[in-house]
Amino acid sequence: MKKLMLGNEAVARGLYEAGCRIASAYPGTPSTEITETLAKYDEVYAEWAPNEKVAMEVALGASIAGARSFCAMKHVGLNVAADPLYTAGYTGVTGGMVIAVADDPGMHSSQNEQDSRHHAIASKTLMVEPSDSAECKEFAIKAYELSERFDSPVLLRLSTRVSHSQSAVELCDRVEKDLIPYEKNIDKYVMMPAKAIKRHPIVEDKLKAAAEFAETSDLNRVEMADTKIGVITAGICYEYAKQALGDKASFLKLGMINPMPTKLIRDFAAKCDKVYVIEELDGIIESHCKNIGVDVIGKELFGYIGEISQTIVSEKILGTKPEFDTFAENVPVRPPVMCAGCPHRGLFYCLKKLGVTVSGDIGCYTLGATAPLNAMDSTICMGASISALHGFNKALGEKAEKNSVAVIGDSTFMHSGMTSLVNVAYNATNSTVIILDNSITGMTGHQQNPTTGKNLKGDPAAAVNLVDLCHAIGIKSVRVVDPYHMAETEAVIKEELAKDEPSVIISRRPCALLKYVKHNPPLKVDNDKCVGCKQCLKIGCPAISMHDGKSVIDHTQCVGCGICTEMCKLGAIVK
C-alpha cells in the first residue's frame, strides 16, 4: 500500500516501522509534524519536552535502557541540545538513537540559516539526508541500523522543502524490536575525564569504520548518463538538479553525509569532464571533495545564502531558464501579521504608547516588531529576552530599568526563560518581565506545553502555575492582566516599571484560534459617527480597513475582542 505523505509524516512512519519505543521533542518548524504524527501510533510513547536539550537527554536515557529512541528539533534547537549530543558521540548507544534535525534554508520561519551538518562533524556522529518522502521513511529505518551497528547516535537531516513536500510512501508493517538488556557500564556511560579520554579513540575508530561503510552503502547512489557534466549532491538539491539537468548529467547522490565516502567520490569524478557540487548553505560536500583532491565547482557558482532551485541549477550550469507557467500579474505580498483577536495586540499597543524598550523573544509575539506597532527592539533566540534585558539594564542603570521590559511566551518561558528569570532575581535588576500566556504554543501550530494542563496526546497533565513559579524563583511582585483591557494593562505596566525591584506581569488571554475559545459577535462601524481619523488602524488588526474614507470591519475575521473600541474616542465602533 502506498500513501501520499509529507516528509515529516514519512519520517514518523519509518520510526514506527523500525520499532521506535520512546520519542521526545520540542516543537519547531519545520520539524513539528514528525512528533505529532508519531504520537498517533499507540505502540510509541511520544511527548513534548520543555526544550530540545531535555528531549535529547530523554532519548539518550531510553537508548541506554535498550530501547530504540528518537528526538526531533529544528536547526536552532540543535544548538540547545548540543551539550548532550556531543557527549552522546562519546558514549554511543545501546538501543538505536535517531535525531531528526530540520534545517531552514531561506529562513521561512527561523532567525538564521545555520547548517546542521557542522554539528554532525563536530560531534563525531553519523548523519544521513533524504531527498523525498519515500527516502524519509527508508532513511529513518536505516538510521537505526547504522546507530546500532556503529554504536552512535544518527542525525537525520531534513530541510523545509523535504519536511513539507509530499510524495508517495510505501507502508509496511511494524517490526517490533526487543529491548536490549541493560548492563551497567561505567567506562562507557560515565563521562568524567578519566573515562571520556578513553572513549575518544573508540569514537575515531567508529568513524573510520563508518567511512569505509559509506564507500559501498546503498545510501549513496551513482546514476550515470552524459559524462560531460557530473553532479555531486544530497537532499532536496538532488531533486532540483535532477529536474533541471535530467539525462544531460551524471549524478552521485550522497545519502550518508557524515562520514562521506572518499573512493566513491574520486571514482565518480574521474568519469566526468566537469564536476559540480550542488548543496544549500555551507560548502560541506565541496570542502570534503577538495580535501581528498577532487576538483569541483561549487560555492563560487551557487553561493552560501538561501535556497537553490531548478531555475538556479539550470541557469548556472546550462545557461538556460526552464519553461514554466506563471501568473499573469504579480501576486500581492502578504506580510505576516497577528491574527484578528490576538491577545498580544493590546499589550504591544500599550508598550508602543508608553515608548518603552522591548527585549523580544521567539514566538507569535515577535510580530509585535512589525508595522504599525513596531514595538520590539531585539529578538535573539529562545529565552534570550529576559537575559538580554538583565544585561541591558545592568549596563544602563536606573534610566533603562524604568523604561524597558522583556516579553516572552508561556511555552518559551518554560523552554529557557525560567533560568533567565532566576538570574534577574538572583542578581537583582529592577527588570520587568511580561509573560504572554496565551495557553498554548502558538506559532508552531498549537502544541501543548507544561503550563496548559495537557500532554502531547491531549490527556490531563500537571500544569505549571506561572504565578507560583515566579514567586518561588524569587519575584515578589507578580501581576496578572487581561490584554483585551488596554487601560488596565497600561496602568499595571506603569506601576511595575516604577517599582525598585524585579517584577513579572502575566498577560493572560487564550489564543483567539483555540477551538474552545468562545468569541463575541463581530463589531461594526457606525458610518454616521466615523470621521475617518484612522485611529483604529494603529493596532494593526487585519479585520479593519478603510473604504471610501470610512473604517470597515470584516465580519468574517472580527472576533469581537473590543480592543478597537478603546481606540475610537467617537464611539463609532459598536456591537
- pLDDT per residue as tens digits for the range 394-419: 999 988 999 999 999 999 999 999 99
Do 105 and 160 meet the contact criterion of CB atoms below 8 Å apart?
A: yes
**C-alpha to C-alpha distance for 525 and 541, rounded to whole angstroms:** 14
Q: What percent of the chain has pLDDT over 70?
A: 100
Burial class (CB in 10 A: 0-12, 13-18, 19+), 273: exposed
- Asked if residue 283 has pLDDT above 90, the reply is yes
Q: What is the mean pLDDT of residues 118-126?
A: 97
pLDDT of residue 281: 94
Q: What is the mean pLDDT of residues 160-185?
A: 96
261 vs 259: CA distance, rounded Å: 7
| pLDDT number for residue 335 | 80
Would you place residue 447 in the very low, low, confident or very high pLDDT band (cuts 50, 70, 90)?
A: very high
- For domain 524-574, give the fold: Alpha-Beta Plaits (3.30.70)
Query: Which H/E stretch holds residue 477?
Result: strand 477-481
* Mean pLDDT for the stretch of residues 293-321: 94
Give me the residue label for grid cell 523552554: 415
Q: Which residues pair with 69 in a beta bridge?
A: 22, 97
Taking only the tens place, the pLDDT of each residue in 89-117 is 999 999 999 999 999 999 999 999 999 99
Per-residue pLDDT at 546 exceeds 80: yes
Whether the Cβ atoms of residue 415 and residue 382 lie closer than 8 Å to each other: yes
Percentage of residues of the chain with pLDDT beyond 90: 96
CATH number at 343-508: 3.40.50.970
**Tens-place pLDDT, residues 244-253:** 999 999 999 9
Among left, alpha and beta (phi > 0; psi -120 to 50; other), residue 19 is: left
- pLDDT band at 333, cuts 50/70/90? confident
Looking at residues 38-44, what average pLDDT do you find? Answer: 97
Ranges of H-type helices in 474-540: 486-498
Mean of pLDDT values over 283-305: 96
Task: Say what the pLDDT of residue 279 is.
Answer: 97
Residue 322's pLDDT band (boundaries 50, 70, 90)? confident
**Homologous superfamily of domain range 2-216:** Thiamin diphosphate (ThDP)-binding fold, Pyr/PP domains (3.40.50.970)
pLDDT at 71: 98
pLDDT in tens, 5-19: 999 999 999 999 999
pLDDT at position 88 is 97
- Say how far apart CA 377 and CA 352 lie, in whole Å: 11
Average pLDDT over all residues of the chain: 96
Q: 215: pLDDT confidence band, cut at 50, 70 and 90?
A: very high
- Asked if domains 343-508 and 524-574 share a fold, the reply is no
DSSP-derived letter for residue 363 is S
What per-residue confidence (pLDDT) applies to 25?
Answer: 98
Could you give the count of Cα atoms lying within 13 Å of 525 in the half-sphere of its Cβ? 27
Q: Which of 268-277, 303-312, 322-331, 378-387 is predicted with the least confidence, judged by mean pLDDT?
A: 322-331
- Report whether pLDDT(454) > 90: yes
User: What is the band of 332 on the pLDDT scale with cuts at 50, 70, 90?
Assistant: confident
Contact of 244 with 310, CB cutoff 8 Å:
yes
Collapsed DSSP state (helix, strand, coil) of residue 372: coil
Q: Identify the three-state secondary structure at position 535.
A: helix
pLDDT value of residue 326:
74
Cell 564536476 locates to 275
**Statement: residue 75 has pLDDT above 80:** yes
Q: Give 223's Cβ-side CA count (13 Å radius).
A: 17
pLDDT at 321: 81
Residue 565: is it exposed, middle or buried by C-beta count within 10 angstroms (0-12/13-18/19+)?
A: middle
Q: What is the CATH number of domain 221-318?
A: 3.40.50.920
pLDDT for the residue numbered 40: 97
Q: Per-residue pLDDT averaged across 44-68, rounded? A: 98
Tell me what pLDDT residue 26 has: 97
- Compute the distance between CA of residue 477 and CA of residue 504 in angstroms, rounded to an integer: 6
Mean pLDDT of 137-160: 98
Q: What is the SS3 assignment for 544?
A: strand
At residue 407, φ and ψ (nearest 5 deg) are -120, 140
Tell me the average pLDDT across 223-236.
Answer: 97
Domain ranges of the chain: 2-216, 221-318, 343-508, 524-574
Residue 328 has pLDDT above 80, yes or no: no
Q: Which residue has the higher pLDDT, 113 or 328?
A: 113
Supply the pLDDT for residue 324.
72
Residue 331 has pLDDT above 90, yes or no: no
pLDDT for residue 323: 74
Phi/psi for 502 (5° steps) reads: -65, 145
Per-residue DSSP letter, 54: H
Over residues 281-297, mean pLDDT: 97
Q: Which three cell numbers stand for residue 103?
A: 534545517
| Helical (H) or strand (E) element with 143 | helix 133-150
Whole-angstrom distance, CA of residue 528 vs CA of residue 509: 33
